[in-house]
Each structure stands twice: as C-alpha cells, then as structure tokens.
Amino acid sequence: MKSYNSFDVAQNQIKEASRILNLNKATVDLLSWPQRELNFTLSVRMDDGQFRVFHASRIQYNTARGPAKGGIRFHSLETIDTVRALACWMTLKTAVVDLPLGGGKGGIACNPGQLSQRELESLSRAYVRACASSLGLHKDVPAPDVNTNPQIMAWMMDEYEAIVQQHHPGVLTDKPMQIGGTQGRRDATARGGVITVREACKSLKIDPGGTFAIQGFGNAGQRAALLHQEMLGGGKLVGVCDSKGGLVNPNGLNAKELVSHKLKTGSVSTFKGGKKVPRDSILELDADILYPAALENSITVDNAHNIKAKIICELANGPTTPEADLILKKNKIHVIPDILASAGGVTVSYFEMVQDGTLDFWEESQVHEKLDKKLTKAYQTVHEAVREKKVHPRLAATIVGVARIAEACELRGWV
C-alpha cells in the first residue's frame, strides 16, 4: 500500500482549494505552512532516578481568525509532519464551523503505556514549562488528543498557573468539571458527527434508522454507537472493530452492552453477541452509514471500491486517502469530511473557553443546543459549496475553510 505524508496531503488540499478560489501566490504560500513551530527537548527524572530525554513540539498553524486551538498527543511514532498536518486541519476545522479560533497541535514522542503516573505527570508539567510563554486563552489553547486525557490537562493547567501565578482555567480545555471543564464535552466529537449524519440523511433522503458500522471503538466510536440510535430514532449497529479485531452481527449488536464490555475488557473482539472478523473488513460491510473512528489512511485505493455505505462520517483525522476520495465520489458515496464531521469536539472546547473566561457555566442542554446549531449550519454551508462548486464534500469543506482564513489574513494586511 502506498504510504502518505500527512502534511503533503494537507498542503495539496490547501492548494487545490486555493486554485478554485483564485487566491494569489502569497496567500497560498502563507496558508501552506505553519506560522510558528516550537520544538523542544524535555529531560524528565524517571522512577529509577535516571533522567530520560523526550522530544516534543507545539505548532501554531494560523492565528488570523483567533488563538491557536488543538490537542496534544503522546505517541511513540509522532513526527513533525504529522503534527503539522493535524495543526493545518485544526485551522480548517475551526474555520469551517466558524469559530473565532485558529489552529494548532502538539505532541511528545513517547509511549505513555510504559510510564508510571508520576512519570506521566512529570512529563506533562515539563511540556508546559517548555512552551508556557506561548500558551494562554488569547494565544494558544491545547486540549487532549491521542493518549492524553482530562487528568493530564489538569496537571498542565496547574503547572501553567504556577508559572504565571494567576488562575487561568481557559488555558487548556477538556479539563475535569471540578476545575473549569464544561458539560457535554465527553461525547462532543461523536455528537457533532451524528448531527452531520442527520443533516446528510435529510439532504440525501436516506433513512437514518437503517444500518451502521463503526471502525475504531475508542471514545468517539463508543459514543457514536450510543448516540446514533438515541439521536436518529434507532438504527442497527451491524459491525464494529478495534485494534484487536472486529465483530459483526447482521441482526444488530447491543450498543450499550458492547460499550460496557469494551470498557471492562479493553476489546470488542471477545464480546459474545456477534461473529469475529478481521478488523479491516468492517469498512466493507453492507451498512448504510460508516463511521471511520480509528487512524488516518484507513480508506485507500485498495478498499475504496469495496465500500458499500451510502454515507461515510469521518470521526477520525484523515482516514481517507486522496485517491480513495475520488473513488468514493465516482461511486456516489457521500463523505462527511473530518474537518466537518469531527468538529464537535473543538466546538465544545470553544464553549469551555467562553465559560472559563466569563465564569458563567452552562447546563448540558444548553451545550447540546448550541452545538447542534453550529454543526447544522456548518453542514448546510459545506453542502451548498458542494452544489455550487460541483466538487466532492472534502474539497467543498476545505474551500469554505480556506476562504474564511484567507479573508482574515487579507483584512489583517498579512497578504
């Protein structure tokens, strides 16, 4: 299978959208590269008393529309180009949903599974010490991503506040509720995705209560399994998979029991309610709606021809390769791209920033209502661009995002 550099893919998406928008060369060059990259080396004392060195980064891709916003990943295979691509997509994502934010991303090359809680806390605090001067509610606001969580955000926020000697709960989002987190954040990514599926079903006149499958059963996949049935008036979950294997049942899997089993055992593969299958086969199931919620580059030229779903809702970042996009378009499969489908998380993170800044915290129903309004409008805007520009949805969403970012850059006098 062909390997892809994620940042090359992101840059090509920017350039293709810019060509359609007829942007000048300076604007294209500005949008094709991060505005600021921070690379640093962290030295952390381990439990055995020895020091270990970790390599880390923070990228603020574009801040024309507002402070940088994006997660922090702890992953052993983290590369600078992966972080650049994710920061680029975050910039597009906040623009597509029309949030007053830019985009950023960060990461530490490490395997958190090999670290104790004390080591993990020391590493988290060291990261903040390295980039504290670049963080802040009006500068750059990180959040959790792969292998990070609300507890890590709590440690990081505490370290930042110790440095500046003031309370700044809005400096990081997706924190525990007790120290400035918001209602409605745990399921925000999946909820946003299901909202876009609802709108797609309306536009395409597809019954949302049909069958659906989920590739990847982490937080987003688990929440999607529950919320799809709750929000769309039913639906039959016919297949799921995680890193250890897949499971199918044409008669439907019990989503609540499956989530409970996953949380208890760490895998769906040992659940008794279905037949075991290879994990990659879930993508090719005969299901009306497919949620890719695992890793990037899952849908490729090798399997795109075999996908039978009518709608693909990308809860993962970059799950579809460029060539596969064209195959899906040719086969009239409607893709809700990641920069729209998974924007629920950053939208509710923005709501958390607003609440932290005003010290006025909302009920969960208010968060859900505001999220629904934002994602519904964003879907409709992108769908209109599909019709107007006669392009596939990913390119349409990129056009919407690039146009908004370019306009902000021009108004500021940057280009």
Report the catalytic residues.
Answer: 105
- Give Cα 239 to chain centroid, integer Å: 22
Backbone conformation region of residue 276, classed left if phi is above 0, alpha if psi is from -120 to 50, else beta: beta
Distance CA 401, CA 381 (A): 11
Q: How far is Cα 300 from Cα 361, in angstroms, rounded to an integer?
A: 43
- Decide if 407 contacts 345 (C-beta within 8 A): no
What's the CA dihedral at 113, 115, 118, 123 to 10 degrees? -100
Q: How far is CA 137 from the centre of its chain?
A: 20
Rounded to 5 degrees, φ, ψ at 54 are: -120, 145
Give me 174's structure tokens: 């997706």
Kindly report the backbone phi and psi dihedral angles of residue 246, in degrees, each rounded to the nearest multiple of 5, phi listed first: -120, 165
DSSP-derived 3-state class of residue 101: coil
Task: Give 122-187 as a 3 state SS string.
Answer: HHHHHHHHHHHHHCECCCEEEEECCCCCHHHHHHHHHHHHHHHCCCCHHHCCCCCHHHCCCCCCCC
211 close to 235: Cβ distance less than 8 angstroms? yes
CA 73 to CA 78: how far, in whole Å?
A: 8
DSSP category for residue 73: E
